[in-house]
Structures are given as structure tokens and as C-alpha cells.
Amino acid sequence: MKKILALAALALSFSGAAQANLLVNGNFENGGSGWYGAGMVSLATPVYFGGGSPAANGQWMVAYNIGDQQPNGAVWQSFATVAGQKYHVTFDWGTNNGIVQQIAASVTAGNGSVLANDLFAGSGPALGSFAFDFFAVDSVATLRFTDVAGNYTYSTDGLLDNVSATVPEPASLVLLSLGLAGMGALRRRQR
């Protein structure tokens, strides 16, 4: 009985580790630490927008093309991967008002091959949550978010926050854990 419970606890401890964010400073609360940027990108708080557009996680978020500029902003970060492993990327995106704008989210491998590339549309003032998956092909991947708004962002700024890249928890591990816990409970009940 104690062995079964110990195995269940061990399996559950691995499932928590699988969900750790592989990115540095995905919520931008430590400034731009861990991220690179180009073009018109900056960090902003809701105060910049008159209290609107709350950050999804903390106070800070990336603001694209502040000041009515042509869309050209991008931020990116590289992180370690394992070839053949599936990764799950989540992020929050929107604008400082109700106008819809798009962001291109892409992942490239260390060898330059494109692992994921998609457009996501969001409006505001509340940020929406988005997600996608990719499979790594080598030991490093670069996640990039590029503003591709179809206008000159007049009075509309794109906002990015709460970015994470995780290794998805295998469903079989959850089922195994539940099965072991159920067997332990059944055994205890029979005594």
C-alpha cells in the first residue's frame, strides 16, 4: 500500500515539473530581461493607457508601435529544447482599444527551420489568450512575436503578455497517477 502511494506521489511530482515555463521573464515583470527586441516595441503598464488594458500577469506588458508608427515591432527569445519533444506555447495578446490587430507568432530551430508560424488576431481592452504547439528538431528554438497589423496603428497599440513555453504533461501520466491512487484507495477500503 505504501509503495503504491509513493509511486503515485512520484508520478504526480513529475507532472508538475513538466509544466514549468522554459522562458525567462515571460510576464515581462523584470523589464526586458531574457528578451530581444527590434523596431517599435517598449514596455508599458496600464497607466500608459489611462488605466485600460490591464496586464494579464502583473503590471508590465510589451507594447507594439506606440506613437502611431508603421507596424514593425518584434520581440524574441531562444530557449533549450530536446529534439522530438512537443512544446506548448501560450500567450495573451490584444490592443489598448477595441480595434483588432494581428501578431505573427513563430518558432524557428537552431538550424533555421521553421517549426511554427501562425497569425493571431486580438482586440481589447482585455487581452485574449492564445496557444499553439510545435515539435523541436534540435537543442534550441527561438520564439518570436512580430506585429503585422494591417494599418499604421493609429491610436491602437498591440499588447503582449504572459508568454510561456512548456512541455505538455502526457495524458498517460495523469491516467497512471489516477489509477495508482484508485488502487491504493480500494486496497485501503478492503482492509
CA distance linking residue 123 with residue 158, whole number of Å? 8
- The pLDDT confidence band at residue 172, using thresholds 50, 70 and 90, is very low
Dihedrals phi, psi of 59, to nearest 5 degrees: -110, -30
C-alpha cell at 109: 530551430
Same domain as 33, residue 7? no
Same domain as 149, residue 130? yes
Q: Look at residues 11, 33, 22 and name the one whose alpha carbon lies nearest to residue 166.
A: 22
C-alpha cell at 115: 517549426
Same domain as 31, residue 8? no
Domains in the chain: how many in total? 2
pTM: 0.79
Distance from first CA to last CA of the chain, Å, rounded? 11
Domain span at 186: 1-18+170-191
Indicate whether 15 pLDDT > 50: no
Same domain as 62, residue 39? yes
Residues 94-119, mean pLDDT to the nearest whole number:
94
Q: How many CB atoms lie within 10 A of CB 176?
A: 16
pLDDT in tens, 43-95: 988 776 666 667 767 889 999 988 777 788 999 999 999 999 999 999 999 98
Residues 6+ apart with CB under 8 A from 67: 40
